[in-house]
Homo-oligomer: A and B are copies of this chain.
Amino acid sequence: MLKYQQTATEIEAYIEQHTLQQGDKLPVLDQLIRQFEVSKTTMTKALELLERKGIIFQVRGSGIFVRKTNRKGYIELFSTQGFKQNLVAHDIQSNVLSFELIACPEAIAENLGTAPGDMVYFVKRIRYIDGNIMCLEESYYRQAIVPYLNREIVEQSIFEYLETALGLNIGFSDMYMHVGKLPETIAEHLELEAGDPALTVETIFHLTNGRPFDYSVITYHYEHSQFVVQANGLYL
């Protein structure tokens, strides 16, 4: 973690500890610099990062303010960090339905930018949030990039393993979302009825070098999942 990222994390902790609310003002720049004992450059980068993450907003000539949703129970949609790291306030459990090393089916290969027949780890899990079924997840990991997975790992946080044990640098992702009616096969897993509403999110995860390594299809339980996105319109 770089210095400015660490400073950003500390400021986030400060906001939490002081239970600051939407619109609350943070100390002025000079005071923040003294308080967190960093250079002006580091603090400026830390604040930019927090602004992009939707934690603060800065008003020229007026100050630095807290952004905070006042609604509870929403999942942050927007992350390539995987659920576990993204839902720290929740209890996330997984029930692994399938775990196997298979030859990549053609439709999946296209999404992963690889050749059909390349070996991929296929992981099918039910994921629970605070004891409720949150989603069914089917993921395909390219073995060329993820040389080893086992059942113990996929019962926990796969992304944490990829980053810490394998040292992969996870870069960016393309997400495709649509809403539709649950097919019988998936409804069963979610303990819902065929025809019930479903949000399906397909994601292609890339390393920082641009190589796709994971294609995942998640179908959410509509009663146990709702999402929040804190967006910056101008992309700063």
Interface string of A72-89 (1 = CB under 8 A from B): 001001111100000000
Task: Report the minimal beta-carbon distance from A179 to chain B, rounded to whole angstroms.
Answer: 4
Contact assessment for A179 and B209 in the assembled complex, using a CB-CB cutoff below 8 Å: no
Q: List residues of chain B with CB within 8 A of the CB of A49.
A: 235
Contact A171/B57 with A177-B229, A178-B226 known, Cβ cut-off 8 Å: yes
**Of residues 100 to 131 in A, which have CB atoms within 8 Å of B's CB atoms?**
113
Contact A179/B176 with A231-B80, A233-B79 known, Cβ cut-off 8 Å: no
Chain A interface: which size bin? Answer: 35 or more
A165 at the interface (CB under 8 A from B): no
Contact assessment for B233 and A176 in the assembled complex, using a CB-CB cutoff below 8 Å: no
Of A52, A79, A113, A178, most buried by chain B (CB within 10 Å of CB) is A178
Contact assessment for B227 and A176 in the assembled complex, using a CB-CB cutoff below 8 Å: yes
Contact assessment for B57 and A176 in the assembled complex, using a CB-CB cutoff below 8 Å: no
Add 15 more A-B contacts to A170-B233, A197-B222 (CB < 8 A).
A52-B236, A57-B172, A67-B172, A67-B174, A69-B174, A69-B176, A79-B231, A80-B233, A171-B232, A173-B230, A174-B231, A175-B229, A175-B231, A177-B228, A180-B197
